[in-house]
Chains A and B, each alone.
Chain A
Amino acid sequence: MILKVLVVDDEAPVREMFEELLKKEDFRISAVATGEEALETVKKEDFDVVLLDIKLPGMSGLEALKMLKNLKPNMIVIMITGFGYDDELIRKSKEYGCAGYIGKNMPITQILSNFKLYIKNAKETIK
């Protein structure tokens, strides 16, 4: 089954990069720039996974995470950050129900394998 992924990142090149990388891995991709847009999109359409940047203009990534999980508790949300590893952000995003955490500073292959692993784990948990 092809999974539908929504990428949320305010930087167009980053957004497009994720689209390109994930398309190659047989995901169906949509992309938006803000948390507000993500909420609107998710209301209209079902997604299996949201890949959500933690630093966003307007509504923060953490706020968006909280609202997305409220809206669709079974939707998998994975956070992305350019900040490197940060305990406090991880603790909070876990509390709000994110399935995993990807750093833009990881090697690309690691990003892809972690992304798939988080989805697999999350699906098992939901079952």
Chain B
Amino acid sequence: MANGQQNKDLLEKVFDDCNAIALYLDRFGNIFLCNKKTEELTGVTRETLIGKHWFGALCPDSSMEIKQQLFKAVVDDSFNYKRPNIFEGTLTDRTKNDLAISWNISPLLNANDEMEGVLLLGSDITLLQERETSMQNIDATLKNIISNIKEFALYAINLEGNITYYGMGAELMFGWKRDEIIFKHVSMIHAYDDVAYKLPFILEQVMQQGEYELETFLIKKDGTSFPVILNVSKFISSDTILGYIFMAKDITEQKRLEYQIFQSEKMAAVGQLAAGMSHEINNPLFVISGKINLLLANKRFGNKLKSDLKAIETQAQRIRSLVDRVLVFARKTPPQAVDLDINKVIKNVLPLLAYHKLPSHKIHIIKYFSDNLLLIRGDIHQLQEIFLNLFINACQAMEKGGTLTIKTNRLDDTFAEITISDTGNGIAPINLKNMFMPFFSTKKDGTGLGLSICYSIIKNHNGTIDVRSQLNQGTTFIIKLPFIKKGG
């Protein structure tokens, strides 16, 4: 017995040095030994605990019943089947807080392989568990954030090339729903050529460099391809490659802007060239036409020579018109929206009619300008082009002379109305509906672009253009443009 007491003292010392709850239960489940840590955590002295049944002493009512039952079952299991067990349970501490305890339960057998008791070692894992829970929360939040990213598409493939992850951004970008595409082959969104030739190269780069970024095209559900910046990286779990992660950013808009800038720079260069050229061409043309004019006035020349001279002048005029058109085309710099007094715009256009070979001396121009200030937000060059086009058309329709009536007025709270009427040939009803179609012209040498340009310019200014006409009575164009309400 002295030996037994020595063993017990030794065990007690070892127990007390142990920084975990240590309990020795006898074969009936009563507490035979417990340690300092147990006293500290529970606030119950070992004198009170020893001899009590462990279940009643350490698992008071405040603990969760199910866990108690489970714990009991596990301990009983160790008793009955003489095998070690691990269990995560709870314990109420001295301040009545539940502690999370990881229990290590080992049966103690004597030399005859008979049950002597059970050793319970319980480590307080409350903090650990809290940390794990918060990690899990962070994990879930991150997953949620990632799958909800809309700015770029995030998707992953496995080594067979099947899509294993497909986020919200990808749904928006490609148009495929997750259910339609998950576990399908990546060629659903990568062009066939890409998958066959480009992708192996990309994946090889990823293997070597860890990640790879490139500009390429991907394919939407409707079959259209669009430009992206694609970032590809490895998807690794415990040193094994499971697949690849793709992050695609749609750069359609960026490309469009780049193209627009390129276009407008090109147009500016063309404009400069055209202005320079027109000056260089107009100077000699002026001299040619001037000389012809003087020769035509010479009474000594016969009719044949005069008709030849007129032919030369006609061709010179053709070159002049061509240069003018190139200038107008070249001045199509990006539209600039400014506040324009529509009456002023029209007034400024009228003198330009002098630049066109028109029977203007036979044409009477009547202007009814609105007294209200009608400010329109738009591009002055584009609007001038519309009015010039329509005035020229009107004059050309009145070869024998007539009246061009220009009216501006405030139609309602939103629109200003500009009507341009002539008393010319009019337009046949069959042609009326094609008036604004590109390349449609009833004129002998018309390009059919004038009215279609008018139409698109007015549309760009959020307005409308309509035409009414009666054969041999005349034509009226009605333009409606939204005006700016001051102070509103």
Decide if A and B are genuine partners. Answer: yes
| Distance (whole angstroms) from the CB of A16 to the closest CB of chain B | 8
Give the distance in Å from the alpha carbon of A87 to the alpha carbon of B333 in the complex: 14
Interfacial residues, chain A to chain B (CB-CB below 8 A): 11, 13-14, 17-18, 20-21, 24, 55, 81-85, 87, 103-110, 114
Return the CB mask of B140-156 against A: 1 if under 8 Å, else 0: 00000000000000000
Which residues of the partner chain A approach B286 to less than 8 Å between Cβ atoms? 14, 17, 82, 104-105
Residue B287 interfacial (CB < 8 Å):
yes
| CB pair A83 B275 closer than 8 Å | yes
| CB pair A14 B354 closer than 8 Å | no
21 A-B residue pairs with CB within 8 Å = A13-B283, A14-B283, A14-B286, A21-B290, A21-B294, A83-B279, A83-B327, A84-B278, A84-B282, A84-B323, A84-B324, A84-B327, A87-B348, A103-B282, A104-B285, A105-B282, A105-B285, A105-B355, A107-B289, A107-B317, A108-B290
| CB pair B279 A55 closer than 8 Å | yes
| CB pair B279 A14 closer than 8 Å | no
Which residues of the partner chain A approach B355 to less than 8 Å between Cβ atoms? 84-85, 103, 105-106, 110
Residue B126 interfacial (CB < 8 Å):
no
Given contacts A20-B290, A55-B279, 16 further A-B contacts (CB under 8 A): A11-B283, A13-B284, A17-B286, A21-B293, A82-B282, A82-B286, A83-B282, A84-B327, A85-B352, A87-B380, A87-B381, A104-B286, A105-B285, A106-B354, A107-B289, A110-B354
Return the CB mask of B279-317 against A: 1 if under 8 Å, else 0: 111111111011111100100000000000000000001
| Distance (whole angstroms) from the CB of B374 to the closest CB of chain A | 20
Which residues of the partner chain B approach A21 to less than 8 Å between Cβ atoms? 290, 293-294
Knowing A103-B355, A105-B323, A106-B355, say if A82 contacts B283 (CB, 8 Å): yes
Give the distance in Å from the alpha carbon of A62 to the alpha carbon of B89 in the complex: 96
User: Who on chain B is nearest to A100 by CB?
Assistant: B351
| CB pair A109 B323 closer than 8 Å | no
| CB pair B324 A109 closer than 8 Å | no
Give the distance in Å from the alpha carbon of A11 to the alpha carbon of B280 in the complex: 10
Q: Within the complex, which residue of B278, B285, B292 is in contact with A83, where a contact is CB–CB below 8 Å?
A: B278
Docked complex: B104-157 residues within 8 A CB-CB of A: none
User: Who on chain A is nearest to B361 by CB?
Assistant: A113
| CB pair B290 A105 closer than 8 Å | no
User: Who on chain A is nearest to B352 by CB?
Assistant: A85
| Distance (whole angstroms) from the CB of B321 to the closest CB of chain A | 9
Which residues of the partner chain B approach A13 to less than 8 Å between Cβ atoms? 283-284, 287
* Interface core residue of A11, A103, A109 (most chain B CB under 10 Å): A103
Knowing A14-B286, A107-B357, say if A82 contacts B294 (CB, 8 Å): no
Q: Which 7 A-B pairs have the closest CB atoms?
A: A82-B282, A82-B279, A104-B286, A17-B290, A108-B293, A104-B282, A13-B287
| Distance (whole angstroms) from the CB of B7 to the closest CB of chain A | 110
Q: Within the complex, which residue of A11, A24, A104 is in contact with B297, where a contact is CB–CB below 8 Å?
A: A24
Docked complex: B360-407 residues within 8 A CB-CB of A: 380-381
| Distance (whole angstroms) from the CB of A44 to the closest CB of chain B | 28
Give the distance in Å from the alpha carbon of A107 to the alpha carbon of B290 in the complex: 9
Residue B320 interfacial (CB < 8 Å):
yes
| Distance (whole angstroms) from the CB of A97 to the closest CB of chain B | 18
User: Who on chain A is nearest to B349 by CB?
Assistant: A85
| Distance (whole angstroms) from the CB of A29 to the closest CB of chain B | 14
User: Who on chain B is nearest to A18 by CB?
Assistant: B290
| Distance (whole angstroms) from the CB of A17 to the closest CB of chain B | 4
| Distance (whole angstroms) from the CB of A117 to the closest CB of chain B | 10
Which residues of the partner chain B approach A104 to less than 8 Å between Cβ atoms? 282-283, 285-286
Give the distance in Å from the alpha carbon of A83 to the alpha carbon of B323 in the complex: 9
| CB pair B284 A105 closer than 8 Å | no
Which residues of the partner chain A approach B284 to less than 8 Å between Cβ atoms? 13
Give the distance in Å from the alpha carbon of A17 to the alpha carbon of B279 in the complex: 16
User: Who on chain A is nearest to B320 by CB?
Assistant: A105
Q: Within the complex, which residue of B278, B289, B297, B354 is in contact with A82, where a contact is CB–CB below 8 Å?
A: B278
Which residues of the partner chain B approach A24 to less than 8 Å between Cβ atoms? 294, 297
| CB pair A17 B287 closer than 8 Å | yes
Give the distance in Å from the alpha carbon of A55 to the alpha carbon of B283 in the complex: 11
| Distance (whole angstroms) from the CB of B189 to the closest CB of chain A | 51
Which residues of the partner chain A approach B294 to less than 8 Å between Cβ atoms? 20-21, 24
| Distance (whole angstroms) from the CB of B315 to the closest CB of chain A | 13
Which residues of the partner chain A approach B279 to less than 8 Å between Cβ atoms? 55, 81-83
Q: Within the complex, which residue of A14, A103, A106 is in contact with B287, where a contact is CB–CB below 8 Å?
A: A14
Which residues of the partner chain A approach B323 to less than 8 Å between Cβ atoms? 84, 105
Knowing A82-B282, A107-B317, say if A114 contacts B354 (CB, 8 Å): yes
Which residues of the partner chain B approach A105 to less than 8 Å between Cβ atoms? 278, 282, 285-286, 320, 323-324, 355
| Distance (whole angstroms) from the CB of A107 to the closest CB of chain B | 6
Give the distance in Å from the alpha carbon of A107 to the alpha carbon of B381 in the complex: 24
Give the distance in Å from the alpha carbon of A106 to the alpha carbon of B286 in the complex: 8
Give the distance in Å from the alpha carbon of A99 to the alpha carbon of B228 in the complex: 58
Which residues of the partner chain B approach A81 to less than 8 Å between Cβ atoms? 279
Which residues of the partner chain B approach A83 to less than 8 Å between Cβ atoms? 275, 278-279, 282, 327
| Distance (whole angstroms) from the CB of B378 to the closest CB of chain A | 15
